[in-house]
Chains A and B, each alone.
Chain A
Amino acid sequence: MAAQTGLIAVQGARKESGHDRWRRTVRRLPHYAFIAPYLLFFGAFSIGPILYGFYMSLFHWEILASHQPFTGLDNYKRLIDDTLFWTALKNTVYFAGLTVAIETTLALLVALAVRDRFFGRSFFQSIFYAPVTLSAAVMGVIMTQLISTGSLNYYLGPFGLGNFSFLANTTTVIPTLSLVSVWWGFGFPMLIFLAGLYNIPNDLYDAAHIDGAGTIQSFFSITLPLLRPTLLFVLVILVIAHLQVFAQNYIMTSGGPGYSSLSIVQYLYQNAWQFYDLGYASAIAVALAVLMGAFTAALFRLLGQRFEL
């Protein structure tokens, strides 16, 4: 083993000739050929628009205007002074934090519950996943009908909530949207957690059991540490998804009451497609991208290790 390692080291130290480099490049060409189509589309439809969006944020860019004046960083300065932007930011972070926390916890608990074999397991797995297949619009309309037309209140009447308007109260509007989003989306992280749970070798639980570990101790000493890469993946995708919340607020509350549930993407949409101020909307998009990058980096740092996702 040591000899083998030494040989590799010697080979690595040998200076690579031009011919070797050429041969290596030729050998790798098929790899580049395989990823080229994706890279092409990724560049054209993702990187290109992102860079163009940043470029637009430096202009007073109004749709169909004959002249788009360059304004430098004015849109970003406007962002700093814009109280609605900060309101939307606060709402979005609150919504995302709450939703990610509840959704992740619930998805993990349900995944643990439906992991073991029992009668009807597949049925429950399917039922829990079912809401994910609904489109945002369908989910929004169903939930609006349920919450805003009194159907839910009918059942809550005995608890003194027969006339309580969950979406018309500044305290309850975001938690309500959050719970609706959890119901709609927790099936997806549940499935990811299930896959992660199935990848944990059973021998570890057997050994822990022999050593006298109980269910809770096994969960915190085996399940949770070994699920950390899965947990990181789930947290990153959920944080990114929920920071971009739009449809629920747009359909169910229009950002109200007042601006209590206005989200960043909704504010971006308003500026771009209702006010036709694409330059400012682009600046909001850039700010949101920075925010999502910061949250993602913080998550990686918080969970302590780099994982191959």
Chain B
Amino acid sequence: MLSDSLHGTINRKELLKKAGAGAAAAAASGTLLSQAGAAHAAAAPPPTPVVSNLGKGTKTITIWDGLGGADGAIFAKMLALFVRKNPDVKIHHETLDWGVYYQKVPTSILAGSPPDFIVNDAYGLPQFAARNMLQPLDALIFGQNLLPKNDFSAGELAVGSWQNKVYGIPLWNPIIGFWMNTDLVRKAGLNPDKPPMTGPDFTEWAIRLTTDSHGRHPDQAGFDSRNIQNYGVSMGWYFHSEISNLWQSGGAITNAAHTKCLLDQPESVASLQYWTDLATKYHTHVPISNIYVPATGPLYASNRLAMVVEGSWWLNNFKTVFKSLNYPVTRLYPLPQWGSKQKAVWWTAHVMSIPAGISDQNTQVVARLIAFLSDQASWGSLESGHIPARTSHKKLPAINSNWWTGVLSREQRDFGRLEWYSPNYNQQQTYYMAAWGAALTGTSSPKAALQQATQLINRTLG
């Protein structure tokens, strides 16, 4: 033998040993990672359980939702309050990832074992209602006077309806907002009391707030776009910003009859070109690599990002992750009017629904629960960041006076606009999001990307 070094056998025991050691190493690295994030973890409140059982009553109802942020935490508190006041009820509550949620609900109905109560985004409602997955709620909720129908505006009723029947009761309204780190704004020599109100102003601010590692701005000679130190703006999830800008520019996803996609029209192209220029021409936008911009949070937390256009759910970050940047360092402003036509601000609703196939007894319990949650939505809104859905709640001083719902509720009242939620909404959104992503990353021109999306969306219409 030359040497024993080439010798060796690997038997089952050794294989298992190596695999075990590998797993241990992975676990150890996981521990190190979690230790690295301990600073954040220590500051964060305890996470809301994704599965919980509340109450000890004999009437058991199962609830599924996708509320994973501050809204989920406050929703769980509202459920706990309900079982305290209704000792005959026991609740099994599961919070799911939205992607999983939209798979599980239809399959559970198909299998004959749906949850008794669901809370979904308004866009999911027509998809479910058109496929007979939901129970109509007019008679059950409004017919029994469990809730006053006239306390919901026409827009709120519209987001909960499909073909003039109510299938969902809006709980609260997520809405797009404009968050700004006023310290960074002041350091850049700008006045946070006079925020940008138009598209050109916004671009100017984004340029002033963006610097490379030598302190140069994008409009200065020698600006190094490969080494940016501070970013001016990020959209977070770019969907909400772009659709608001699309409307502001006079564009729309479809025509009024919903028979033709309009995304290839000049107004739509111009609205996308605006954000594309901020991202690829001026380099003021945080790099986009997904349907959301993952670097937004970390950059904002490290004081390297000044302006963020994100939804009301962003409030949660100031309670958990960026506590030191909470108000008054960060302030929420009215959305600028980027487009040239008319200001518009995207909003939606979380709607409460009852799946088809639920027993009469559980349907009645859930009806009670829906009414209770709707009544409690005002204080829930103050915690979640969203605006309460009911008109009387929107008028409450507590809602109108604080630094987030105060701004957001006025934005909704004066400029709020709803999307068209069709039974094929997911498909249509997938197509235009891909087009927007392609343009915003400079992969495709806005016009070419939108032409492809238009062709695909047209196949889903009519």
Name the interface size band of chain B. Answer: 35 or more
Which residues of chain A are near B24, meaning CB under 8 Å?
126
Which residues of chain A are near B9, meaning CB under 8 Å?
198-199
Contacts A64-B109, A168-B287, A273-B103; A187 near B22 (Cβ below 8 A): yes
Assess whether A97 is interfacial by the CB under 8 Å rule: no
Assess whether A258 is interfacial by the CB under 8 Å rule: yes
Partner of B131 from A132, A166, A169, A276 at Cβ < 8 Å: A276
Which residues of chain A are near B434, meaning CB under 8 Å?
255-256, 258-259
Which residues of chain B are near A149, meaning CB under 8 Å?
294-295, 298-299
Contact A168 B5 (CB under 8 A): no
Assess whether A23 is interfacial by the CB under 8 Å rule: no
* Stretch among B151-159, B222-230, B381-389, B403-411 lining the A interface: B222-230
Which residues of chain B are near A66, meaning CB under 8 Å?
132
Contact A133 B22 (CB under 8 A): yes
A191 to chain B minimum Cβ distance, whole angstroms, is 7
Assess whether A254 is interfacial by the CB under 8 Å rule: yes
Assess whether A14 is interfacial by the CB under 8 Å rule: no
- Cα distance A148–B299 when bound, in Å? 11
Which residues of chain B are near A115, meaning CB under 8 Å?
6, 8
Contacts A150-B299, A162-B227, A258-B443; A84 near B456 (Cβ below 8 A): yes
8 Å CB interface, B1-44 against A: 1-2, 4-10, 15, 18-19, 21-26, 29, 33
Query: Please, which residue of chain B has its CB at the minimum distance from the CB of A197?
Result: B8
- Cα distance A149–B301 when bound, in Å? 12
Which residues of chain A are near B426, meaning CB under 8 Å?
274-275
- Cα distance A142–B26 when bound, in Å? 13
Contact A126 B294 (CB under 8 A): no
A121 to chain B minimum Cβ distance, whole angstroms, is 10
Contact B2 A167 (CB under 8 A): no
Assess whether B320 is interfacial by the CB under 8 Å rule: no
Assess whether A50 is interfacial by the CB under 8 Å rule: no
Contacts A64-B133, A167-B289, A195-B10; A205 near B2 (Cβ below 8 A): yes
Assess whether B126 is interfacial by the CB under 8 Å rule: no
Contact A130 B22 (CB under 8 A): yes
Contacts A150-B298, A162-B228; A258 near B106 (Cβ below 8 A): no
B2 to chain A minimum Cβ distance, whole angstroms, is 5
Q: What 0/1 readout, one digit per residue, does chain B (402-441) give for beta carbons within 8 Å of chain A?
A: 0000000000000000000000101100100011011011
- Cα distance A161–B132 when bound, in Å? 52
8 Å CB interface, A166-194 against B: 166-170, 187, 191, 194
Which residues of chain B are near A209, meaning CB under 8 Å?
2
Assess whether A270 is interfacial by the CB under 8 Å rule: yes
Contact B1 A64 (CB under 8 A): no
Contact B227 A130 (CB under 8 A): no
Q: What 0/1 readout, one digit per residue, does chain A (111-141) give for beta carbons within 8 Å of chain B?
A: 0000111100010011101111110000000
- Cα distance A160–B33 when bound, in Å? 28
8 Å CB interface, A150-164 against B: 150, 157, 160-164
Which residues of chain A are near B5, meaning CB under 8 Å?
116-118
Which residues of chain B are near A65, meaning CB under 8 Å?
131
Contacts A144-B294, A270-B430, A274-B427; A191 near B6 (Cβ below 8 A): no
- Cα distance A256–B131 when bound, in Å? 30
Contact A274 B430 (CB under 8 A): yes
- Cα distance A228–B290 when bound, in Å? 41
Contact A168 B441 (CB under 8 A): yes
Which residues of chain B are near A166, meaning CB under 8 Å?
289
Contact B131 A62 (CB under 8 A): yes
- Cα distance A147–B293 when bound, in Å? 12
Query: Please, which residue of chain A has its CB at the minimum distance from the CB of B294?
Result: A148
- Cα distance A195–B132 when bound, in Å? 55
Query: Please, which residue of chain A has its CB at the minimum distance from the CB of B132?
Result: A64
- Cα distance A132–B24 when bound, in Å? 12
Contact B295 A126 (CB under 8 A): no
Q: What 0/1 readout, one digit per residue, does chain B (102-145) give for beta carbons within 8 Å of chain A?
A: 11001101100000000000000001000111000000000000
Contacts A202-B1, A256-B290, A275-B424; A63 near B110 (Cβ below 8 A): yes
Assess whether B449 is interfacial by the CB under 8 Å rule: yes
Assess whether A165 is interfacial by the CB under 8 Å rule: yes
Assess whether B180 is interfacial by the CB under 8 Å rule: no
- Cα distance A63–B5 when bound, in Å? 60
B288 to chain A minimum Cβ distance, whole angstroms, is 6
Could you list 20 examples of A-B contacts with CB < 8 Å?
A63-B110, A64-B131, A64-B132, A122-B18, A129-B18, A130-B23, A144-B294, A149-B295, A157-B227, A168-B287, A170-B443, A194-B10, A209-B2, A256-B437, A257-B289, A257-B441, A258-B434, A259-B438, A275-B426, A275-B427
A interface residues, Cβ below 8 angstroms from B: 62-66, 84, 115-118, 122, 125-127, 129-134, 142, 144-145, 147-150, 157, 160-170, 187, 191, 194-195, 197-199, 202, 205-206, 209, 252-260, 270, 273-276
Beyond A168-B287, A257-B288, 19 additional pairs, beta carbon < 8 A = A62-B131, A64-B132, A65-B131, A125-B18, A130-B26, A157-B227, A162-B226, A163-B228, A163-B283, A163-B287, A164-B226, A168-B288, A168-B442, A202-B2, A256-B438, A257-B437, A257-B440, A259-B438, A273-B99
Of all A-B residue pairs in the complex, the 5 with the closest CB atoms, nearest first, are A258-B438, A129-B22, A126-B21, A167-B289, A257-B441
